[in-house]
Structure 1
Amino acid sequence: MSEIDDLMAHLPMDQIAARLGVDPAQAEQSTRTVLPALLGGLQANAQDPAGAQSLAGALQQHDPSLLGSGLDRVDENDGQAIVGNIFGQHTDSVASRLGSVGGAGGSGIVQQLLPLLAPYVMAYLARRLSGTGGLGGILGGALGGAGGGVQPASGGVGDVLGGVLGQVLGGAGQAAPTSSSTSSGAPGGILGDLLGGLLGGGKRA
């Protein structure tokens, strides 16, 4: 099972489908398109030292117990803030580009999904990082490479977070359904364009 599949298994897809007003199959397709963009945006932010510190601090505020819980526990205002921090002024452009991916369901669905999924993504990353000696250990021992599970050469916060995000992303570009994608609108290509063209190498925390 891929990391994306593992994260998907912790999402209340029936509730998400009902919230979006679509069938579960469409909700799953759309979710598999949106998740890599959120993770990729966080990974881009982690490449910047200030962004990495900010992300690590934000992850400390997110409870891994959200995973497996229903939408009633999701703070959509928090979700909107997370999305804003990741994509900033490019949020609408990101939603438009992702919505154009075959099977994504359009930008309207993507706009609704982003704040719903963002808290789950943060909770999932917080859980993953708990296996590297804890977020506190990552922050406190960044210069000494204190993180246990993911050991980048420099040991910095950005390296630790980037390493974990890279593992979670894995084959994320292939995780989204491609049966109705075109070569110009494939999820992996869209994700690369978003990160390279819109985020500019991770300038936000």
Structure 2
Amino acid sequence: MTAVQDILSALNLDQLAEQLGTSPEEAKQAAEAAVPALIGGLQANAADPAGAASITEALSQHASGLIDGGVDLNQVDVADGERITSHIFGSNQEAVVNQLGGLGGGAGLIGKLLPMLAPVVMSFLASKFGGGAQAQAQDSSQGGGISDMLGGLLGGGSGSGGGGIMDAIGGLFGSGSQGQSGGAGGGIMDALGGLLGGGRR
């Protein structure tokens, strides 16, 4: 399983759909676009040493409990999620929302969804990185660190059916794989283009 699949499997789609005011199918489709965008935005920002330090500090403020045993969206702090998405996407946030909305569900749905899922993503990453995040982030100036850790989560399981989540994100990280994947994954890649990495560092 990739990190994205792990996060999606922890969500209660019926509860998510109810809070979004849509169908479980639409909620699932929107989440499948939003979760990679959030992790991808973090990974792009973490390529900058100051961004990596900022993400490490944010991870220290988020416990893994939100995702352990499945997510109860009633426990999600949406105001915190709004701050997280603002930090991830910066001035590109509106453009990211509009582009993801064009893939399905509309910008209004994506705009509501990102702040719901951002704390969930941070909780998942906190559970994966734990106390090692600080040490890993210190290596970011050498081109590794937390950026590589996030990239590894996105690339996990790339040998399975659809080519893994890196095919879905493709050229978002300058990997040179633009245009090599099709379907919904390629759509996410093509839609977001170079918008990721615009967050505050």
Point out where structure 2 has 5 or more consecutive residues left out of the alignment: 156-163, 170-181
Aligned-partner Cα distance in 1 for 2:39–2:17: 21
Residue in 2 aligned with 1:38?
Answer: 38
- TM-score w.r.t. the length of structure 1 is 0.78
Q: Could you tell me whether the CA contact under 8 Å between 1:4 and 1:175 is conserved in 2?
A: no
Aligned-partner Cα distance in 1 for 2:166–2:101: 15
Aligned-partner Cα distance in 1 for 2:166–2:29: 13
Residue in 2 aligned with 1:86?
Answer: 88
Question: How much identity, in percent, do the aligned residues show?
Answer: 42
Number of residue pairs aligned between Structure 1 and Structure 2 = 178
**1:162 aligns to 2:164 (yes or no):** no
Residue in 2 aligned with 1:134?
Answer: 132
Among 72, 79, 88, the residue aligned to 1:70: 72
Point out where structure 1 has 5 or more consecutive residues left out of the alignment: 143-154
Residue type matched to 2:150 in 1? Answer: L
Larger radius of gyration: 1
Residue in 1 aligned with 2:109?
Answer: 109
Secondary structure, aligned partner of 1:186: helix
Cα offsets for 1:44-65 (capped at 9, x unmatched): 1101111110100000000111
User: Could you tell me how far 1:32 is from its partner in structure 2?
Assistant: 0.2
Q: Could you tell me whether the CA contact under 8 Å between 1:98 and 1:110 is conserved in 2?
A: yes
User: Could you tell me how far 1:22 is from its partner in structure 2?
Assistant: 1.2
Cα offsets for 1:103-148 (capped at 9, x unmatched): x211111000010000001111111112xx5334446xx3xxxxxx
Aligned-partner Cα distance in 2 for 1:174–1:22: 28
Cα offsets for 1:5-61 (capped at 9, x unmatched): 111111222211101111111111110011111111101110111111010000000
Residue type matched to 1:53 in 2? Answer: A
Aligned-partner Cα distance in 2 for 1:124–1:58: 13
